[in-house]
């Protein structure tokens, strides 16, 4: 049995001078009576890519969804102790405007989920829901967002055709454009390339690196080579605990914990 269950203290390097935007401080999380996260503590830097890795069921997606309170949609799901802040603000306060939080913290899901509508309507959806009616404003936002998602040149001549006519990789980049349109500060990505072919995956990975110049990005991935390619920092989770969190190169070349070494070398499933 792994020693992870007996050692709650993760190996965490000294905090960087890079500004922290998201902070978990000894966070416990439960689904009903089942505790699934145990004293998770980590600082996620601003305008960098942070990857969460670990075997299925280790808690990494639960950690991700805490940041925009998507877990609130699951009955009985809650943080039971600890503190989670974004820009120094406790996002679980009763006074927290969840709609505004989710505008600031956008999310891209594992499977692309375009709406049954045109490319233009997909990208402009969030703005229209927010009450934006100006066609000029919407036009500008659609072009800006599609350019930001490296999709504009591929779709600019068919904005008013169905989003379902796009390839799988294009649909995922469309969903990223839809997220960008509402001008978030943080983008959460839950296995964004798992359903894509290698060529589409490469395009999304290149996009992730480009977007990190402007946005804070947190990505959950089972693909360790992907974490190597795109992430500045990597957190390894196991059995609901943060085992190790450090610069990505160190995690993969010189991990400080045996459990991490076994996982990244393929010795743990």
What the block records as the tokens of 90 is: 């406790």
pLDDT of residue 9: 56
Q: In terms of C-beta density within 10 A (0-12 exposed, 13-18 middle, 19 or more buried), how is residue 176 classed?
A: buried
Tell me which of 14-23, 123-132, 159-168 is least confident.
Answer: 14-23
d(CA 78, CA 81): 9
Mean pLDDT, residues 227-242 taken together: 96
Q: Give the integer Cα–Cα distance in Å for 249 and 233.
A: 8
HEC-encoded secondary structure of the chain: CCHHHCCCCCEECCCCCCCEEEEEEEEEEEECCEEEEEEEEEEEECCCEEEEECCCCCCHHHHHHHCCCHHHHCCCEEEEEEEEEECCEECCCCCCCHHHHHHHEEEECCCCCCCCCEHHHHHHHHHHHCCCCCHHHHHHHHHHHHHHCCCHHHHCCCCCCEHHHCCHHHHHHHHHHHHHHCCCCEEEEECCCCCCCHHHHHHHHHHHHHHCCCCEEEEECCCHHHHHHHCCEEEEEECCEEEEEEEHHHHHHCCCCHHHHHHHCCCCC
Task: Report the pLDDT averaged over residues 189-213.
Answer: 91
The 10s digit of each residue's pLDDT in 63-110 is 999 999 999 999 999 999 999 999 999 999 999 999 999 999 999 988
Q: Is 121 in contact with 158 (CB distance < 8 Å)?
A: no
Q: Which residues contact 136 (CB under 8 A, 6 or more apart)?
A: none
pLDDT value of position 17 = 57
pLDDT of 269 strictly over 70: no
Cβ distance 240 to 36 under 8 Å?
yes
Give the whole-angstrom CA distance, residue 259 versus residue 255. 9
Question: Looking at the predicted structure, is the pLDDT value of residue 14 above 50?
Answer: no
Question: Does the pLDDT of residue 197 top 80, yes or no?
Answer: yes
Chain CA centroid to CA 80, Å: 22
């Amino acid at each position: 049995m792994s020693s992870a269950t007996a050692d709650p203290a993760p190996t965490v390097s000294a905090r960087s001078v890079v500004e922290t935007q998201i902070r978990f401080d000894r966070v416990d999380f439960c689904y009903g009576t089942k505790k699934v996260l145990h004293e998770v503590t980590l600082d996620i830097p601003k305008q960098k890519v942070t990857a969460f890795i670990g075997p299925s069921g280790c808690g990494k997606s639960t950690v991700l969804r805490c940041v925009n309170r998507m877990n609130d949609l699951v009955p009985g799901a809650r943080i039971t102790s600890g503190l989670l802040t974004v820009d120094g603000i406790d996002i679980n306060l009763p006074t927290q405007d969840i709609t505004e939080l989710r505008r600031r913290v956008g999310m891209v899901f594992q499977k692309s989920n375009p709406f049954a509508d045109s490319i233009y309507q997909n990208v402009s959806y969030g703005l229209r829901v927010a009450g934006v009616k100006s066609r000029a404003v919407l036009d500008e936002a659609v072009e800006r967002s599609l350019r930001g998602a490296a999709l504009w040149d591929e779709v600019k001549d068919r904005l008013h055709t169905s989003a379902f006519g796009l390839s799988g990789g294009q649909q995922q980049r469309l969903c990223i454009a839809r997220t960008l349109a509402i001008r978030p500060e943080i983008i959460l990505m839950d296995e964004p390339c798992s359903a894509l072919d290698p060529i589409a995956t490469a395009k999304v990975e290149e996009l992730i690196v480009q977007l990190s110049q402007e946005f804070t990005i947190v990505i959950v991935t089972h693909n360790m080579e992907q974490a190597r390619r795109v992430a500045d920092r990597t957190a390894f989770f196991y059995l609901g605990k943060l085992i190790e969190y450090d610069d990505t190169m160190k995690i993969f070349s010189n991990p400080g914990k045996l459990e991490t070494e076994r996982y990244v070398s393929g010795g743990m499933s």
